[in-house]
Structure 1
Amino acid sequence: MSVPVFQWGNDALRLHIAHGDQLPPRLLALTLPDDPEPDIGACLRSALPVIEIALAGSGRHGTSGKRHIDGLAAQRLRLVTWQQYVEDDVHRLRLDLTDPDNGLDVKVHYALAGPTLHTWAEISTTQPVVLDYVSSLTLSGLGQGLRWEDELALWHAANPWSGEFRWRRATLAELGLYDVGMVDYDQTGSKNRIAMTSTGSWSTSERLPMGILEDLRTGRMLAWQIEHNGAWHYELGDRYGAVYLTASGPTAAEHQWSQRLEPGETFRTVPAAIALGSNIEQIAAAFTAHRRRIRRPQRDNPIVYNDFLNGLMADPTTERELPLIEAAADLGAEIFCIDAGWYDDERGGWWDAVGEWRPSVNRFPDGGLAAVIDRIRKAGMRPGLWLEPEVVGVRSPVARSLPDEAFFQRDGQRLTEWGRHQLDLRHPAAKAHVDAVVDRLMAEFDLAYLKLDYNIDIGPGTDVRGSVGAGLLEHNRAYLAWVGELMDRYPTLTIEGCSAGGSRTDGASGAVFSIQSLTDQQNFRLMPPISAASPLAISPEQAGVWSSVDGSMSNEDLAFSLITSLLFRVHLAGRIDTLTPAQRTIVRDGLTTYHELRSTIGTGTTFWPLGLPGWRDDWIAVGRRTTDELLLAVWRRGGDAKITIPLPEARDAEVVYPRWGGELLTVLPGALEIALPPNSARLLRLK
C-alpha cells in the first residue's frame, strides 16, 4: 500500500508518521540523525495507530487475549489536520483525529526537546461512549529485522520498600516472549505479552513506571516513563515480526477503570515520555533534563534535619526535641522537621486517630508545640512539620464530621485500610478540610517546610461518581492539584512528597514536589545502592536521602552515611544529640561540603563508572559531571581493598570529604585506582 508519510522532529530525533484515507495515522519509526531512512513497507505492516483506544461497545478487532492493541475505535480514526510549532525551544506537534461514526475526536500531543519526546492525548466525543483503554504511548516496529527474542532486552526496576530502584536486564525470551513462527501463516504473532503493572494508590511500591529496551548488538536504548501518581500499565508484545510497546494509566482489565464520556466532556490521558540514547548515562541525562523542564521551579536546597529515622520514630516530646534542636543547629541544619506523632495525645495512638492534626498537649508542656517551634527559630533554623493529609483515622472526630461522600467508598461502604479512611479530594468537603488544616498550621506556626506522607494503599479506588479506577485517577490528579495550590498560596513553603518512603516516586509527583523521599531504609550501609541508582527515576536535586548518624558510629561510619546524600538532598537524621564534639566536627564538615557543592546539583548529569549498583555490591560509585569537574562518591562495603574505576576524562583527583586520609588514589590512563579502608567512603573531585 502506498501511503503518505511525513517527518517531524528536531536535530536529535525524528518521527515518521504514516496516514491516509484508509488507515489511522501510525508512528512508523523513531530515528536519530545518522540513521538510514526506515523501510516504510516493512514498518507499515507491523505499525499500530498513534493512540490505542478500546470502547466498551466495540472492544478490539484483530487481537484476542490480554493485549491492549488493535482497539476498533483506534482503527477507525483518521487524521484531519496537524499543527506544528516551536515554543521555548520545545518542538510541538498536535495531530487532530476523528471518527465521525462514533463521535470521537482525539488530539495527540507531542513535545520534543533534545532526544526526549513527551506525549499525551485529549479525547472528546459528540455522543456518549465508555472508554475501556486509552494508551499514553504506543510504539511499534521495534526490533524490525532483528532476532528480537534474543537481541532485544528489557531493563525494568523492582522498587521494594527500603530497597528501591533495583534495575535488572533480561532478554525478551527470558521474560517469556518468543517468535513462535506464526507470522509465516498470516498470523500477527503470538498472543502473550510482557506486562508490567502497578495497582492501587501506591504508584511505585512494587515497580517503577519505567522501562528501557536495549538492542544488545549496538547498545542503543529506548526508554520510557509513565507520569502518574497512581495505577499504570505497560506491555511489550510481538506483531508481524517486530515488537510493540504500549503504555498507559489505569485500564479496565488491570485496574477496574473505565471512563464514561458525555458530549462536550474531555478525558486527558496520563502523560508519558520517551528518550533515546546509546547507554544508561545518556538515558539518565535525557530524562533528568526532561524532569527539570516540566516541574515547578525550585528555590533552594535546604539541609533538613528530620527527627524520625533512627531518632524519635514518631514519639516526639519537648524533652526529647530540645537536645536535637541544639545539635541540629550546631551541625548546620537549616530546616528542623518534626515528623509523625506531634498531634498524638495518647502516646501511641498516632496511627488510627489522625485527621484533626492539632498539636498534642501532653507531649509538649510549658508552652506547647509553639514553644518547641520557637526554640527552632531561636536556634537559627526554620520549622517544618510532617502531615498525612489524605487519611483520616477511624477513631478521629473527622471521620464522623465529614460526609461519607468525602471518603473513598465501594458499593456504598466507606473503605477502611489499617485503621484509616481515605479522603476523596474531588469532594468539596474533603478539600475544605485539608485546606483548613494547612491554613491553620501556617497561621499558628508560620512553617517553612511540610512533609506530606501517605502510608496506606487504599486499593483500586472508589466507585463514587463512576468506575473504581476512574475515582482513583481523579483523586490522584486532585491531590497533586491541591499541592500545587498550596505552593501558590504559600510561595516560601517547601513541600516534600513522601509515601511510605519511596512508594510514589513517579514523574507526576516529581513535576510538583520540591523534594521527594526516596526510602525508609534505616541501615546506613544499605543506603548507597538506593541513592546511587535513584537518578534514573528522579532528578538528584529532588532526591531526599537520609544520612543517619549517632554517637555509636565510628568516624568512617559517619562519613560513609553522610556521603550517601552529598550529591543529592541532605536529610540528616538519627540521634545527633549523642554525637561527641569530635564527631560533630566530622558531621559539620560534611554539611559544610554540601553547602559548597549544592549550587551545582541542579545542573550536572549523573554517571555510573561501575554500572548501576547491585543490592549486594561491595563497591559502589556514582558521580555528577559538570562542565568544569567530576564529583564522584565511592563506597567500599566489602571485597578487595582496591578497585580500578574507568574514568576516561579524569586528570587530577582529590578527596573532598573526609580529609583525614587512609585512602590511596592513583590516576591511570583512562581510569582511577582507589584503595579504601573497610566499610568506608570518599567523595572525590576530578578535573
Structure 2
Amino acid sequence: MDYYVELKLRKDAHNGGFSNGLTLCGSESTKGLERILKKDDKIVYKNNTNHYVTMNMVHNSDTIEVSTLFENKGTESTTLEMLSSFAIKGIKADKIHRLQSFWSAEGKLRTETTMELHLEPSWNQCGMRVEKFGNLGSMPVRKYFPFIALENSETQEFTAVQLYSPYSWQIEILCKEDETLSLVGGIADRDFGHWFKNLSPGETFTTPKAVIARGNSLYEVCDKLVKAQKPEISQVDLDMGIMFNEYCTTWGNPTLENIKKICNKLKNKAVKYLVIDSGWYGKNEGWWASIGDWDVNYEKFPGGLKKAADYIRENGMIPGLWFEMESVGRLSKHWNNIEHLLKKDGVVLTVGDKRFWDMSDPWVIKNLHKMVIETLKECGFGYIKIDYNDTIGIGCDGAESLGEGLRQRILATQDFFRKIKEEIPDIVIENCSSGGHRLEPSMMELVSQASFSDAHETTAIPIIAANMHRVIKPSQSQIWAVMRGNDSDSRIYYSIISTFFGRMCLSGDIYDLTDKQWSLIEEGMDFYREAADIIKSGTTIKIENRVISYNKPEGEQIVIRKYENKFLVIAHRFENSKETSTDYLKHYKTVREYGAIDCDFSAKAWLLIEE
C-alpha cells in the first residue's frame, strides 16, 4: 500500500483505458510527476513546468492526516482540474463499506463486494474500472457521508478514510493492472463537481485534509477516525447536559407565553438548555418563508427576546436561539436584495422558497453580525442552533468555476462560525442542516453539538442514532425524545433510551404528561447522567441489526459501548421482532437497568461493570 498524488492540469492529456468522463486520475499530469523527496511526513513531486506537489502527512498514534499542496513555481499560469487530498494504491480488498444518507435516514451502512461493483481488472488490463461517488453542493452529507472503508476479509485488515470537506467532494475506487485497488479522494473535480482553479506564478493551493485509519474491524477504524476529530467544545458543554428544544412543542410558533409554560414545567427537572426554535421572528406569515428577517415578532414576544431569555435563566436553564443565517425566505424584505445574494450564471440562485447570502460579502457579514451576534449578546443567550435547510447545488458565481465559487463561500460560512465563538467564547453552537446534512468532520470541529437527524418521532430513531457512532462523536450527537400525552410506558422507554446513543434532547407536549409519565422520563434522565462517561469517552464494540426499511423497521438492534471496565448495552425491538438475548449480561455485574423489552417497539438499556 503506497501513498501518492493524483492531479489533472487543463493543458495535459486525459488518461486512456476508456476512462475519460469516468475519472481524471492517471492523466498526463500525474504521469509527468517526478518524485524528488520522500520522508515520513511528506512526499514531494515536481514536473517539467516547475510545478511542485507535496503530500503532507501527519502521523498520529492511530491515524494519518494527509493533505496536498500545489505550488506554481513556473513562469505561466496554470489551471488545476483535479487535485487529490489523498491517493493510495496497492490496496488488497474484497469489500467496500460506505454510509448512505438521505433526509431523516442518515448513515445507513452499505456493504458491497468488489465483484458486485465490477472492480476487477479486464482480461488484458487495458480497461480502467472505476467506482466514483460523492456529493455536490453545500450539504456535504447527502446521499453519502465523506467516508469509505475497504476490507480484506481474508486477513481482516481494514483501511478507512474520512474527508474533511464541507463542500462538494468525491471518492474514487480504481482498478486496472492487477487485483489491487487504488483509492483517491478530495474536492469534487472538473468533471464531477464543476471545479477548477486558476493559479498564477507564485500562487499555491491546498486541498481539504483527509484522515486515514487502519485496523482489524470496521468498529476499530471508525472509532479511530471519530476520535481523531478535535471539536472545539464549549467549556459550558463538557458535562453532557440535557437539552429541551420547543420545536416539537410549538411547531414553529414559540411565544413568551408558551416559553414560560415550558419553563414552569421544566423547573428543577435537571434540564440544562432550553432552545427557542424557529418562528420567533417575522410577521406571523410562517417561519419558513420569513427567514432572513431576524426582527423579533413583538406580538409573540412582548418586551423582546431578552425577557424570554431572562425567564429561562431565572428557571435555572441556559437559553438558546435558532437561526438559519445563510438563507433568505421568499417573504423576507431581503428577497430582492440581489447585490448581496448568490448567483449562478448571472441569475439569482433560487431553490424553492430560498435564496442564499453571499457569505464572502463584507456587507452580508456586517449585517449578520448585527442580526445574529449582537442579538445573542444583548439578550444573554448562551446557545445557538444554526440550521441550514437547502443546498446551493453545483456551485455559484464569484470565482473562475462554479465549484470554486461554492468552496470559497462555504469557507466564509465556517469563518462566521468562528467569529461567533470569538465574540461569545462560552457559546454552545449546534450544527443543524435539516438534521444531519452537515455532519462532516470540518463542520463538527467548529461546534459543540449537532442535530443527528430530523427523524424526531419516527421508529427509526435508534437505528439512525447508532449509525452516527461510525462518523461523529456521540458526545456531539443530539438525539431527540419527543414526549406526547398519549405515550405508553413502552413508547417513553423507546424514545428516552434512543437518546443514550448521544446527547439527550427532550421536546413535545411535556405539560400534558402525567406524574407517572414524568417519573419514567426522570428515571431515564438519571440513567443517562450515570452513563454519560461511557457515551462521551467509550468505544462502540457492537452495532447489530438486520433492518432494511427505515420507514417500517423489522427485527432487533443491539449496541454495546465500552469505557474502561464499564459497558452500556442498548437494545431495541422493531416490528416482527424476536426476544432479545441477554446472554451477554451474564458475564458482568448489572449496575443499573432501564426500560422493558417485552414486545415489538420496546427497548431496554443496561449499565454493566466487569468485576
- Assess same fold via TM > 0.5: yes
Report the 3-state secondary structure (helix = DSSP H, G, I; strand = E; otherwise coil) of the residue aligned with 1:531: helix
Letter in 2 for 1:164: E
Are 2:152 and 1:225 aligned? Answer: no
| CA deviation after TM superposition for structure 1 residue 527, in Å | 0.5
Contact 1:464–1:471 (CA<8 Å) still a contact in 2? Answer: yes
Are 2:44 and 1:110 aligned? Answer: no
Of 374-383 and 617-626, deviating more is: 617-626
Report the 3-state secondary structure (helix = DSSP H, G, I; strand = E; otherwise coil) of the residue aligned with 2:46: strand
Are 2:347 and 1:398 aligned? Answer: no
Match of 1:361 in 2: 298
Match of 1:622 in 2: 559
TM-score normalized by the length of structure 2: 0.93
Distance 2:401 2:510 in 1: 49
Match of 1:514 in 2: 448
Select 1:129's aligned residue among 64, 71, 78: 78
Pairing 1:536-555 to 2, within 5 Å after superposition = 536-555=470-489
Match of 1:453 in 2: 387
Distance 1:470 1:457 in 2: 15
Contact 1:331–1:587 (CA<8 Å) still a contact in 2? Answer: no
Deviations 1:292-349 (A, max 9, x none): xx332453222111111x321212123332222222334321110010111032242x
Report the 3-state secondary structure (helix = DSSP H, G, I; strand = E; otherwise coil) of the residue aligned with 1:610: strand
Report the 3-state secondary structure (helix = DSSP H, G, I; strand = E; otherwise coil) of the residue aligned with 2:143: coil
| CA deviation after TM superposition for structure 1 residue 477, in Å | 1.5
Match of 2:46 in 1: 98
Of 372-381 and 526-535, deviating more is: 372-381
| CA deviation after TM superposition for structure 1 residue 679, in Å | 2.6
Contact 2:546–2:555 (CA<8 Å) still a contact in 1? Answer: no
Select 2:306's aligned residue among 370, 375, 382: 370
Match of 1:686 in 2: 608
Report the 3-state secondary structure (helix = DSSP H, G, I; strand = E; otherwise coil) of the residue aligned with 1:95: strand
Letter in 2 for 1:304: M
Are 2:321 and 1:385 aligned? Answer: yes
Contact 1:220–1:276 (CA<8 Å) still a contact in 2? Answer: yes
Match of 2:267 in 1: 329
Deviations 1:612-656 (A, max 9, x none): 865424211222211121111111224455233674994223443
| CA deviation after TM superposition for structure 1 residue 497, in Å | 0.4
Distance 2:288 2:420 in 1: 25
Select 1:256's aligned residue among 180, 188, 194: 194
Report the 3-state secondary structure (helix = DSSP H, G, I; strand = E; otherwise coil) of the residue aligned with 1:182: coil
Distance 1:459 1:268 in 2: 23
| CA deviation after TM superposition for structure 1 residue 62, in Å | 4.6
Match of 2:4 in 1: 50
Deviations 1:248-279 (A, max 9, x none): 12211011110111122221102112111111
Are 2:255 and 1:306 aligned? Answer: no
Select 1:71's aligned residue among 27, 31, 36: 27
Deviations 1:14-69 (A, max 9, x none): xxxxxxxxxxxxxx44xxxxxxxxxxxxxxxxxxx711010111143455422231
Classify 1:407/1:646 alpha carbon distance in 2 versus 1 (closer, same or farther; 3 Å): farther
Report the 3-state secondary structure (helix = DSSP H, G, I; strand = E; otherwise coil) of the residue aligned with 2:290: coil
| CA deviation after TM superposition for structure 1 residue 398, in Å | 3.2
Are 2:221 and 1:283 aligned? Answer: yes
Contact 2:534–2:566 (CA<8 Å) still a contact in 1? Answer: no
Match of 2:503 in 1: 569
Distance 1:497 1:197 in 2: 21
Of 320-329 and 58-67, deviating more is: 58-67
Distance 2:462 2:534 in 1: 20
Classify 1:333/1:648 alpha carbon distance in 2 versus 1 (closer, same or farther; 3 Å): closer
| CA deviation after TM superposition for structure 1 residue 94, in Å | 2.4
Distance 1:221 1:357 in 2: 48
Distance 1:376 1:264 in 2: 55
Instruction: Say which one has the larger Rg.
Output: 1
Report the 3-state secondary structure (helix = DSSP H, G, I; strand = E; otherwise coil) of the residue aligned with 1:564: helix
Distance 1:128 1:410 in 2: 25
Report the 3-state secondary structure (helix = DSSP H, G, I; strand = E; otherwise coil) of the residue aligned with 1:608: strand
TM-score normalized by the length of structure 1: 0.83
Are 2:98 and 1:164 aligned? Answer: no
Match of 1:244 in 2: 182
Deviations 1:438-467 (A, max 9, x none): 222123211110000000112111121321
Match of 1:583 in 2: 517
* Uncovered stretches (5+) of structure 1, i.e. residues with no partner: 1-27, 30-48, 85-92, 664-674
Classify 1:644/1:582 alpha carbon distance in 2 versus 1 (closer, same or farther; 3 Å): closer
Letter in 2 for 1:506: E
Are 2:290 and 1:341 aligned? Answer: no
Match of 2:96 in 1: 154
Are 2:67 and 1:120 aligned? Answer: yes
Deviations 1:342-389 (A, max 9, x none): 1032242x2233213111112223x23332222211111111000001
Deviations 1:87-122 (A, max 9, x none): xxxxxx1233322x3231222111122332211112
Letter in 2 for 1:480: Q
Letter in 2 for 1:302: G
Distance 2:375 2:50 in 1: 49
Of 447-456 and 598-607, deviating more is: 598-607
Contact 1:407–1:424 (CA<8 Å) still a contact in 2? Answer: yes
* Uncovered stretches (5+) of structure 2, i.e. residues with no partner: none
